[in-house]
Amino acid sequence: MLTFWLIAVALEVLLGIAFLLTGADGAIDRGLSKAGIDFSSDLLTAVRVVVVYPAAFLGVTLALAQVAAPDLAVFIVARIRGGRRLLRAVGSRFRPWSNEVGARRGIRIWITVVIVFSACNLISGLLHRAFVAQDFTWHFSWSMLALLPVAMLLDAGALLEENGWRGFALPVLLRTRGPLVASLIVGFAWASWHFPVKYDAFTDYGLWGGLAYLGAFTIKIVALSVVITFFWARAGQATLLAIAMHGLSNDVARVGGLVDGTTWQSSAISELDLAVPFIILALVLVPYANRTGWGDLAPLGSE
């Protein structure tokens, strides 16, 4: 697990340096301007930028490769240790639900996930409106419904990271840890992996403001990790469902609106607003799972 995390961070940093040195960020900004769209983390936006501004191709490719660092790290770890057997074990989890769970129960879990995560986004939107109204925009439209499948299945971060976090790291930790502790460790690893690309928190907000923002961000990611584990295990260790949950939490459909934090206080509060529904949900789901069972907690390599 430590080797995997170190490789994922190293790849992210190296690709990030290449991204900055090639001026890729400027090319992407010009592509977004020519396309007349705002930045979004979904793959449809990436394709639109490249189509209208081909010069952004390198930048988009580097950005996607950077996001994919956790998945790429799995291949490197497999090369070092585990080989094809490890890759088959990770690949076997790339499913909407397991055979043991079955389609009927699996579909019910997916419907529950969409409802629960959309409700969490709405609650966060209400908290944003109450606490960071000056930096918050929220426009309801039918496009939100159309974008939900995009958020679930085409969010770049979700699609290109989850074979690492839930396909590999979580089932590896289940060899020696219980589901809650394993979820917390994955949550901290997942959150801290983001830190290098969030260096601008310190340039924008200073040392203490940057630390406050990253602390709030980490709380959100750790709480989200626990909730994802609950549904992931219930669906039979289904990486596709983890991708959907990750994507819904990133909320490219803007169900919970959008905060453009201009101060560290606004940015930190907005992260805590996103965290609160998942913290409450985790406090409900963990005791419930301890009583009734978490679901499939088979460790990696037990196939």
The Cα 29–Cα 5 span in angstroms is 30
Beta bridge partners of 137: 258
- 79: CB partners within 8 A, 6+ apart: none
Which residue would you say has higher pLDDT here, 203 or 142?
203
C-alpha–C-alpha distance, residues 95 and 71, integer Å? 16
* Eight-state DSSP code of residue 37: -
> Band of the pLDDT at 84, cuts 50, 70, 90?
confident
Confidence label for 37 from pLDDT (cuts 50, 70 and 90): confident
146 against 15, higher pLDDT? 15
CA atoms in the 13 A half-sphere facing the CB of 242: 30
**Contacts with 301 (C-beta within 8 Å, 6 or more apart), sequence order:** 85, 86, 89, 175
Long-range contacts of 79-82, Cβ-Cβ distance < 8 Å, separation of 24 or more: 80/3, 81/3
pLDDT at position 144 is: 85
CB 24 within 8 A of CB 62: yes
- Burial status of residue 94 (CB atoms within 10 A of its CB: 0-12, 13-18, 19 or more): middle
Confidence category of residue 303, pLDDT binned at 50, 70, 90: low
What pLDDT band is residue 302 in, cutting at 50, 70 and 90?
low
pLDDT digits (tens, 9 = 90+) for 160-171: 999 999 999 999
| Confidence band of 49 (pLDDT split at 50, 70, 90) | very high
- Looking at residue 83, its pLDDT comes to 81
Mean local confidence (pLDDT), 31-47? 90
Residue 255: predicted pLDDT: 93
When pLDDT is averaged across residues 189-193 and rounded to a whole number, the result is 97
For residue 54, the tally of other CB atoms under 10 A from its CB is 11
Q: Is the predicted pLDDT of residue 82 greater than 80, yes or no?
A: no
Report pLDDT for 7: 97
Look over the chain and give the mean of its residue pLDDT values, rounded to a whole number. 94
Please report which confidence band the pLDDT of residue 141 belongs to, taking 50, 70 and 90 as the band edges. Answer: confident
Say what percent of the chain tops pLDDT 70: 99
pLDDT tens figures, 203-244: 999 999 999 999 999 999 999 999 999 999 999 999 999 999
Nearest C-alpha neighbor of 179 from the set 232, 101, 130? 232
Q: Please report, as a single letter, which amino acid is at residue 210.
A: G
pLDDT band at 81, cuts 50/70/90?
confident
